[in-house]
Chains A and B, each alone.
Chain A
Amino acid sequence: MSSVPFLYVNILALICYAIILAAFLAAKKTSQIRWFILLITDALLWTGGAVLMRLQIFPGIRFWFGVSILALFAFAFLAYMFVCSFARFRGCLSKLIFGIGSLIIVILEAFGVFIAPPAAVTTPTGGTVFTYEMEWQIAIPLVFFLIIVVFIVLVVRKLIREKGIRTPGLQALIFGCFITAIGNMVQIIPGNTFPWDTLGGVIMAVSMMIALYKRRMFRLTLLVSKNVVLMVSFVMCTFASVYFISPVKQAIVSTGMSDNAATSFVVVIFFVLIILICYMIKRLMDSLFTREEQQSRLLKAFSNKVSRTLKTEEVFSELIKVVTTEIPVCNVYFCLPEEGAFVSRYSSNPLKPQKFSISAQSPLLTYLRSEETCFTMEEFRHSPYYLSLWQDEKKIFRDMDITCVAGLVDDEDIVGLLLLSSKEHGTPYSYSELSFLNTVSTITSIAVKNACLYERVYQEARTDSLTGVYNYKHFTECIKNDFEACRGDSLALLYLDLDDFKLYNQLYGNDEGDYIMRRVAEIAKAVVGKNGTVFRFSGKVFAVLLPHFDGRSSIILAEEIRRRVDAINDEPSRHRYKHLTISGGICVYPYAASSPNELMENADMAVFNAKNSGKDIIVMFKGIKPVSHSIADKTMDILARAESDSTSHYKASSPTIHALTAAINAKDNYTGNHSRNVARYSSILATAAGLNEEQVKIIYEAALLHDIGKISIPESILNKPDKLTDSEFKLMTEHVNSAIEMIRHLPSMDYVIPAAIGHHERWDGKGYPRGLSGEEIPVAARCLAVADAFDAMTTDRPYRKGLSVEYAAEQIEKNAGTQFDPNLAHIFAELVRSGEITVSKAS
């Protein structure tokens, strides 16, 4: 047998094996990959040994023959192991028997039992021929290998039966095994001079690689880079030039062409061929690897972007970009879990904003959990789970043209669904695209989980758990933001206060009260819609912020809410309940307020007015009226009107207030007079400062009651002529809290609390009890503070005589901006100097 074709083909095979081995050594190792590497290594040893033997390289024929033949004897067993691993076939016993059998054969062959090393015979033409001497013993390993081959066939047959012939990679595997078998059979034909078995081995190795690729067991780009392919091209070209130029030239010369012409001709042909091969290889590389590289780049960029955001919208936006860049898909939908279903939250096509939901019990999700995280609808249709799909669900998938589904799975949880419609030209989804989607889904699932978690926590922190509307915390943020956003335009604030709700709770229990709160919240949300935001402001009060609303539209909206709340009473199941009503107060910037705080205060005043006006009405805060010249008279007019008005709340609460002032007067005559003085001074100041009638009345009442807490202070401290000790002073400061404790038990008088509680606060924030500063202090309290200080200075006390009016006014002005509201302080001083405020000494 001539050794020349053997050498060429074996060298070619050796190069192929070496490249495949080098590439796979860098791959992520799985059981299949490991067995494949072993198989390729074995083939490398087999072929390498044969080549080196034929080249008679040191240490000699015997050694390289040994390497080659031992590797050959191990080949069948390793091929069996690879096929078992590929088919996920256990077959422990067969593996053990074949393993031990192969080991014994290899050991025996190491002692030359089956086949002896060949003898190198030099032919008359100078070539070398290797002749083998075989005895009957060779039949033993041959029969053994034949049994292994039968088992390989059985395993493949089992795989076909279980999974079908179209199982990814199976056809390539069968083809490889078939070609190897053919190669080995042809090899034993007498007179054959071509190494068909080696060629078959190469084809098998490539087929197995394709089988692994089809099974998505490795990514091609991870294994084969452009450099590797270029290296292969270089080797192949060199190989071709060395072995084919000379024979081609000789063939041309034999046609009668001159030697020089033939050389030129061959060079031209070879050059053209090389160019052609390079071009073909470039095309091949581009089609094979460019896309993979692009996918890698896209995935990297996508991963970077989504890991930096905590907003689902941004995650989805990036997801849409990356998916539509890589896959020419008509539409992408993204569903997130929401109350037992996966609801479509985003669509790649803004013109298709159809809302749909897929139940969390849908078989689609069951299939996703139990089978694949990324699959085509065609695969799903072949599953028995498809039987349980509802007609509505089928319709959704049909209408949306859903063709592919990818689940965003985090451990056992499905955190989202990515639904893809059919591709632009209706082509099916490829393995590469499904793999890509799988990777994208994995990256997205983590990002979406984090984003959803963040959004949920964010939402929970700003939502009232009972009613589902936003809470007070969020209100304080929103009012500032909305106020800024509505500068130059209008912003309405509506307070909705359930009437007699405490009584309602007492009559029917807290559960019923909670139910009503939820109903009212639902009504408010439904009526307001996207025009504004509803908040639970406090226990029974809802606030509604309405950007760009004027007074009229605010009243219409508020009336609608009131009407709908009233309609609750008409429900048949609620006839036995007390009639439920709601009062509302509205203040609109810039017509009746100039700051968020003022907006709140005025809306609060309006609610108070609504409550005082018989409840179940909506009252608009009407703003500040111009101050008349005779402020004291005007103030007295206001108070007189309040007392004479039969519907006025003041008239109703007047006896209570008088009773309380009489009580404090009885205990401490000074405090009684002081309260009346402060009431007069502060109400005049309020009128002069431009506050409306409602505020003037509240300030007057608050002033009468502001020191009511002193009832709880011992007379020895109240009338102590000397300076108070620290503990006495501390006890004295408690009178504010005591006042609040008393007032809050008075029916319908809680509106005076803000004024009463804040009259010892200072503009600079050093006051007590809350240490508020500037405009944080309610305006009523600021008026009271000035009037309180002025009366304290101008009246006689046991420990000193009263100071002069001028001095006191100066002191007020002097402390403007530190202790007092500078604006109010100056107005007050002017009122004193102009005689509008006259001092009446406490008796």
Chain B
Amino acid sequence: MRFQDKLKKYSPEQIWSEYCGFLDLNISDYMYIQNRLMEEQIKLWRDSGLGRELLRGQYPETVEDFRKMLPLTRYEDYADVLLSRRTAMLPATPMVWIETTWEGGLRPVKVAPYTREMLDTYSHNIICLMLVTTAREKGDINVSKGDRVLYGGAPLPYATGLMPSLVKEEINLEWLPDPNEKNGLSFSERIKKGFTMAHKGGIDFFFGIGSVANYITENFSSASSGKSKGKIKVSPDIALRYLKARYLSRRDQRPVQPGDIFRPKAFICAGTDAHCYRSRLAKAWGTEPFELAAGTESTCIGTETWEHNGMYFFPDACFYEFIPEDEIQHCLENKDYQPRTCLMNEVRTGGLYELVISVLKGGAFMRYRIGDVYRCVSAGTAGSLPTFTFDDRVSSVIDIAGFTRLTESTIGDVVALSKLGINDWLAKKEYSHEGQPYLHMYIELTPEAVTGDAVSKSALAEHLAVYFRYYDSDYNDLKRLLNMEPLKVTILKTGAIATYKGRTGRTLQRINPSALDIGELLKLQESEPCVIVREVKAI
């Protein structure tokens, strides 16, 4: 039965219990669901070709056995099977394959198989998400057939394209417009069309990754008043609100904000850096955005509720393990280190954890490091469920606005391609005063380049940006879709990094070194005499 039929047939209490009842579970009941579904998944997975390959002849019976036998995995472990789409090797037959970029420009796309059961769980959890984000309190059902959705996500085969298709199976919503509809529109044209359609009857839901939502919001005036062919149909109440918004914008000397015209029931954001845009979006839309945790490999795994106190993870999407912060650090220092993981009932309030997932219902990924770091907002009091908020990607990856996945090797290749006389470099994700994320590269030039090349700060930045855009299509999308230029360059004294090592005895991490180390480096290069490094490092 579709959700929209359930709305007619069942009481709100029954609907709430079916979709959001897990929020009232205590942690032991939650773990019961987790363990039980994990047992089912282990049975499926261990007998599959993929499972046999990764388990290397071991045959786990219990969840504990499984956690002991299988080391944490990365996409490399699955690449052979998944990239060639060898379905016979999988624990269950996939219905769809979802794509995403693996490592910007360096490796091919990565794909993730979705079984029918995974899709059912996905749509169930999306409905839950819609219910809890529109509710004003527990049990308040505020979703109805015909609600209008402005959707700022990419179409299929990307993960964001799944949501409209799945929701359609459950309830008829009006998509402004449907992202999976083949209408030949570019992303920005689609958004513009969405706003034009929104003028007819308003917006009930807004979905989008944080940076895109921010872009749309910042360009709201141009998007909503874009050149449209023919007349714009505007409903009377929207027209009134529009007039009021124009008056307010003139009075307060500010552009018209979407919140002046639209009153969405829920504003839902996902992706890296969504938190940077949160306050801006809240101010512009007049409603606090809800955080959503979802990914290509992980499916839809968590949502915030009307209480805005962090995300709850759905118990039936994945089996969750968490790598504590100190263990993450050990991993960075020793690549072969197998970190200890804890479970949902073992997390501590305030702790920073890298998420490890095992996709349930016939998923391929088991004990998989998706590379997302979450902060535990509340570990749950009196047996209630823990809540989390997205912190960032793991420090070995630089993700800007949820678009790029820059690693040490990606940046190294870009630097090599650029043929600039760079002796050494460091890269760190930093935030501007406005809260905008950017890639900050600390560059140490060779003595030859210092004297022979055009190496001004702006020249370096522009030169490198050209190669970043060339090498990494996602980086290019930052510029193309969001008009972002996220690269900032700081030139270090030649030999500063080696001097730092000599003085402190510590090797700086190339990707995301700590702010303390960077500060120390900068301070040191100011106080130290310039050291010429004769040997040019191979990059």
Which residues in A have some Cβ–Cβ distance to B below 8 Å? 161-167, 361, 363, 366, 381-388, 390-392
A163, A166, A384, A387: residue with the most chain B Cβ atoms closer than 10 Å: A387
> Which among B9-17, B166-174, B495-503 touches the partner chain?
B9-17
With known contacts A382-B18, A383-B21, A387-B33, A163–B361 Cβ distance under 8 A:
no
Q: Which of B1-48 contact A (CB under 8 A)?
A: 10-15, 17-18, 21-22, 24-25, 29, 32-33, 36-37, 40
With A and B bound together, what is the CA distance between A783 and B502 in angstroms?
Answer: 108
Q: Tell me, yes or no, whether B315 is within 8 Å of chain A by CB.
A: yes
A383-B21, A384-B24, A388-B316 known; A164 vs B14 contact (CB < 8 Å): yes
Q: Chain B residues near A363 (CB, 8 Å)?
A: 32-33, 36
Return 16 A-B CB contacts under 8 Å, by A number.
A162-B139, A164-B11, A166-B11, A166-B14, A167-B13, A382-B10, A382-B21, A383-B18, A384-B17, A384-B24, A384-B25, A385-B33, A387-B316, A388-B33, A390-B37, A392-B40
Residues A388 and B32 in contact, CB atoms below 8 Å apart: yes
**Best-surrounded residue of A361, A386, A388 (most CB of chain B within 10 A):** A388
Complex interface: chain B residues within 8 A of A366 (CB): 32
Measured between beta carbons, the chain A residues less than 8 angstroms from B10 are: 382
A160's nearest neighbour on chain B, judged by CB, is B13
Contacts of B430 in A (CB 8 A): none
A390 near B36: Cβ-Cβ < 8 Å: yes
Question: A388: which B residues are within 8 A, CB to CB?
Answer: 32-33, 36-37, 315-316
Complex Cα distance, B25 from A96, in Å, reads 34
List residues 93-152 of chain B with CB under 8 A from any CB of chain A: 117, 139
> CB within 8 Å of A: which residues of B?
10-15, 17-18, 21-22, 24-25, 29, 32-33, 36-37, 40, 117, 139, 315-316, 361-362
Classify the secondary structure of A's interface with B.
helix
Contacts of A361 in B (CB 8 A): 36
Measured in the bound complex, the distance between the Cα atoms of B20 and A386 in whole Å is 12
Contact A384 B21 (CB under 8 A): yes
Contacts of A391 in B (CB 8 A): 40, 117, 361-362
CB distance from A375 to the nearest CB of B (A): 13
Say yes or no: A390-B40 contact (C-beta < 8 A), given A165-B11, A363-B33, A366-B32.
yes
Contacts of B40 in A (CB 8 A): 390-392
Give the one of A164, A167, A386 with max B CB within 10 A.
Answer: A164
Instruction: Please state if B18 and A381 are interface contacts (CB–CB under 8 Å).
Output: yes
The distance from the CB of A563 to the nearest CB of chain B, in whole angstroms, is 30
Closest approach, in angstroms, between the C-beta of B23 and any C-beta of chain A? 8
Complex Cα–Cα for A278 and B131 (A): 53
B residues within 8 A CB of A384?
A: 17, 21-22, 24-25, 29, 33, 315
Cα separation A392 to B41 with both chains bound (whole Å): 12
Shortest distance between the CB of B289 and any CB in chain A (Å): 26
User: In whole angstroms, how far apart are the Cα atoms of A678 and B194 in the complex?
Assistant: 116
Minimum CB–CB distance for A387 against chain B, Å: 4
* Complex Cα gap A164–B117 (Å): 30
Inter-chain contacts of A164 with B (CB < 8 A): 11-14, 139
Q: A164-B11, A387-B316, A388-B33 are in contact. List 19 more A-B contacts (CB 8 A).
A: A161-B139, A162-B139, A164-B12, A164-B13, A165-B11, A167-B13, A381-B18, A383-B18, A384-B17, A386-B18, A387-B22, A388-B37, A388-B315, A390-B36, A390-B37, A391-B40, A391-B117, A391-B361, A391-B362
**What is the CB-to-nearest-CB distance from B242 to chain A, in angstroms, rounded to a whole number?**
37
Q: Rank and list the top 4 A-B pairs by shortest CB-CB distance, nearest first.
A: A164-B13, A384-B21, A388-B33, A164-B11
Check if A163 sits within 8 Å of B13, measured CB to CB: yes
Within the assembled complex, what's the spacing in Å between the Cα atoms of A363 and B40? 13
Of all chain A residues, which has the CB nearest B140? A161
Closest to A392 in B: B40
Question: How far apart are B301's CB and chain A's nearest CB, in angstroms?
Answer: 14
State the main secondary structure of chain B at its contact with A: helix
Nearest CB of A to B18, in Å: 4
Judge whether B33 and A383 touch: CB under 8 Å: no
Could you tell me the distance between the alpha carbons of A390 and B36 in the complex, rounded to whole angstroms?
8
Q: Which residues of A contact B22 (CB under 8 A)?
A: 384, 387
In the bound assembly, the distance between CA atoms of A632 and B15 in angstroms comes to 97
Once the chains are docked, how many angstroms separate the CA of A126 from the CA of B155?
89
Residue numbers in B under 8 Å from A382 (CB-CB): 10, 14-15, 17-18, 21
Give the Cβ gap from B158 to chain A, nearest Cβ, in Å: 27
> Which residues of A lie under 8 Å from residue B362 when comparing CB positions?
391
CB distance from A389 to the nearest CB of B (A): 8
Q: Give the residues in chain B near A392, CB-CB below 8 Å.
A: 40
- In the complex, the chain A residue whose C-beta lies closest to that of B30 is A384
Query: Which of A163, A167, A390, A392 has the most C-beta atoms of chain B within 10 angstroms of its own C-beta?
Result: A390
Residues of the A chain whose Cβ atoms lie less than 8 Å from the Cβ of B17: 382-384
In the assembled complex, the CB of A376 is this many whole angstroms from the nearest CB of chain B, namely 12
Residues on B with C-beta less than 8 A from A161 are 139
Please state if B24 and A166 are interface contacts (CB–CB under 8 Å): no
CB distance from B316 to the nearest CB of A (A): 4
- A730–B36 Cα distance when bound, in Å, is 71
CB distance from A707 to the nearest CB of B (A): 62
- C-alpha spacing A383/B117, complex, angstroms: 18
Complexed CA–CA distance, A384 and B139 (Å)? 14
User: In the complex, what's the smallest C-beta–C-beta distance from A407 to chain B, in angstroms?
Assistant: 18
**Neighbouring A residues of B11 by C-beta, 8 Å:** 164-166
In the assembly, what is the distance between CA of A361 and CA of B37, in Å? 11
Complexed CA–CA distance, A143 and B22 (Å)? 44
For residue A537, give the distance in angstroms from its CB to the closest CB of chain B.
Answer: 36
Which residues does chain B contribute within 8 Å of A386, judged by CB atoms? Answer: 18
A774 to B371 alpha-carbon distance, docked (Å) = 87
- Residue of B15, B25, B29, B362 with most chain A CB atoms under a 10 A cut-off: B29
Q: How far is the CA of A384 from the CA of B17 in the complex (A)?
A: 7
Residues on the B chain within 8 Å of A163, using CB = 13
* Chain A neighbourhood of B37, CB < 8 A: 387-388, 390
Q: Give every chain B residue within 8 A of A387 (Cβ-Cβ).
A: 22, 33, 37, 315-316
CB distance from A386 to the nearest CB of B (A): 7
Chain A residues whose CB sits within 8 angstroms of the CB of B36 once the complex forms: 361, 363, 388, 390
Which B-chain residue is minimally distant from A394 (CB atoms)?
B117
A164→B40 CA distance, assembly (Å): 34
Q: How far is the CA of A399 from the CA of B47 in the complex (A)?
A: 25
Cα distance, A721 to B182, chains bound together (Å): 124
Q: Which residues of A contact B32 (CB under 8 A)?
A: 363, 366, 388
A390 contacts across to B, CB distance below 8 A:
36-37, 40
Residue numbers in B under 8 Å from A162 (CB-CB):
13, 139
CA distance A387 to B32 in the complex (A): 11
Q: Which residue of A lies closest to B18 (CB)?
A: A382
A166 to B361, CA, bound (A): 33
Cα-based distance from A10 to B261 in the complex (angstroms): 61
Q: Please, how many angstroms separate the alpha-carbon atoms of A366 and B31 in the complex?
A: 13
A381 to B13 CA separation, bound complex (whole angstroms) = 13
Q: How far is the CA of A163 from the CA of B22 in the complex (A)?
A: 16
Q: Does A166 lie within 8 Å of B21, measured CB to CB?
A: no
Which residue of the partner chain B has the closest CB to A366? B32
Chain B residues with Cβ under 8 A from A383's Cβ?
17-18, 21
Kindly provide the distance from the CB of B138 to the nearest chain A CB, expressed in whole angstroms. 8
Q: How far is the CA of A166 from the CA of B362 in the complex (A)?
A: 37
Q: How far is the CB of B433 from chain A (nearest CB, A)?
A: 44
CB distance from A174 to the nearest CB of B (A): 14
Q: Which of A167, A391, A392 has the most CB of B within 10 A?
A: A391
Bound: A390/B40 CA distance, A: 7
The distance in angstroms between the C-alpha atoms of A161 and B24, with both chains bound, is 15
A433 to chain B, nearest CB (A): 20
Q: Residue of A at shortest CB range from B22?
A: A384
